[in-house]
Amino acid sequence: MEPRVAEPLPGITEDVLRRFDVSGPRYTSYPTADRFVEAFTTTQYRQALQQRAQGGVVGGGAPLSIYVHIPFCESVCYYCACNKVITKHHEKAAEYLDALVTEMDLTLADLGRTQSVSQLHLGGGSPTFLSDAELTRLMDDIRSRFKLAPGAEISIEVDPRTVTNERLQHLRGLGFNRLSFGVQDFDPAVQKAVHRMQSYESVEALMIQARALGFESTNVDLIYGLPQQTPESFARTIAQVAALKPDRIALYGYAHLPQRFKPQRRIDAALLPVAADKLHMLSGALGGFVGHGYTYIGMDHFALPNDSLAVAKRQGRLHRNFQGYSTQPDCDLIGLGVSAIGRIGATYSQNAKTLPEYYDALAHGQLPIERGLALSRDDLVRRAMIMALMCQGRVEFESIELAHLIKVQDYFGPELERLRAMADTGLVVVEPSAIQVTAMGWYFVRAVAMVFDRYLSADQTRAKFSRII
């Protein structure tokens, strides 16, 4: 039986979807990465590391999160906006692994080797570009330098086209307990249009094997708005993914920015779905996944009710970092590898974005920091407001006032007026001492958070971001 496009959720009309079809940040950080500056150098980053080592930053003894960027892919996916290197020369990985060891050692020279790690994530690119032996070496290098805490989340992004059952078994043996499968769409016409062919059956087999091996959580990434997609074809993909029953689903809207991302120039813009069809896809996905028993976590994430992410949402324990929603407490993040982003204390930093620049800095004994940001007092106050909205859907004024020594009603007078206007659409309730995002507003939480973003005052800034819808 042909799956039908699911009905939108109650109260979420296409008029509401259309009204909030605007560009805006995803708020994996605040300020967002486009605000990073080259004036932030290795010197400031090292100072932040040293302050953490000395307990000079709040939470200095808290566990770390580590992100490792593996940039290599064997073939290009036309929609991709990630930092990547397309190559079939697997021997290039050896030099990169050597560089990662150098970066870790330079980092630990300032940070110290007693750091506990509660979360480790390998992303890319395609981390499964690495061979079994290379993945073993990388994990050994990490474990010999950092202390992975008992129960740590150890996750890896998986390209189903480059993974076998035996590879999954090897990953499990290395300690990985979470997998994220890049699927995007199961429709063959869409896959051909974006140069990423993979069958439903192959992904299904890997999901079955992952469960048999005891992986704690599996995630599937999807994209709507790709060339050749229709509301009807995407409804089939939604039904197929729901049948696989991954623990988590990430649903992203495709942002066609060929002037910024060269691979997207291979996409025929005439094949992209029109805005009305994208709205149908989104509303169908929201209704479809919730109808299949998933909890809507926020923005573009869904989880089964018993998944730790859904439990964290129910208990008000959601957090957000550069990988998206997380169950991990707000903690410092070490970014390793080309273009990787990190956060230490009240600073953000990003590594060099090209391999030659990355390698050159390390060859000269320097951490490869290219840019970053030391947060101002105003940044910290606004970050607290935005992250409370993004993660809990509620801001209690008293907690902000005690932590930052302000009066919310005075500090954010214009912002609260804008929120009151937004309240007329049913997205938020502005109480005398709190802001509450409504059930419908949770689907547009980015738009609510944007009210407190000081850097979005200029319209030209918004053009840098993807659309909310």
CA–CA dist 343, 334 (Å, integer): 7
Residue 124 known to bind ligand: yes
Residue 67 contacts residue 123 (beta carbons within 8 Å): yes
Residue 196 known to bind ligand: yes
Residue 79 known to bind ligand: yes
Residue 455 contacts residue 461 (beta carbons within 8 Å): yes
Residue 50 known to bind ligand: no
CA–CA dist 76, 84 (Å, integer): 9
Residue 11 neighbours by CB under 8 Å, 6+ apart:
426, 439, 440
Residue 342 known to bind ligand: no
Residue 200 known to bind ligand: no
Residue 221 known to bind ligand: yes
Residue 255 known to bind ligand: yes
Residue 80 known to bind ligand: yes
Residue 184 known to bind ligand: yes
Question: In 3D, which of 193, 189, 180, 272 has the Cα closest to residue 237?
Answer: 189
Residue 77 known to bind ligand: yes
CA–CA dist 118, 157 (Å, integer): 18
Long-range contacts of residues 412-419, Cβ cutoff 8 Å, at least 24 apart: 412/385, 412/452, 415/451, 415/452, 418/451, 419/448, 419/451
CA–CA dist 438, 423 (Å, integer): 9
Question: In 3D, which of 250, 256, 295 has the Cα closest to residue 273?
Answer: 256
Residue 173 contacts residue 137 (beta carbons within 8 Å): no
The 8-class DSSP code of residue 333 comes to E
Which residues are part of a known binding site for [4Fe-4S] cluster? 73, 77, 80
Which residues are part of a known binding site? 67, 73, 77, 79-81, 124, 157, 184, 196, 221, 255, 341
Which residues are part of a known binding site for S-adenosyl-L-methionine? 67, 79-81, 124, 157, 184, 196, 221, 255, 341
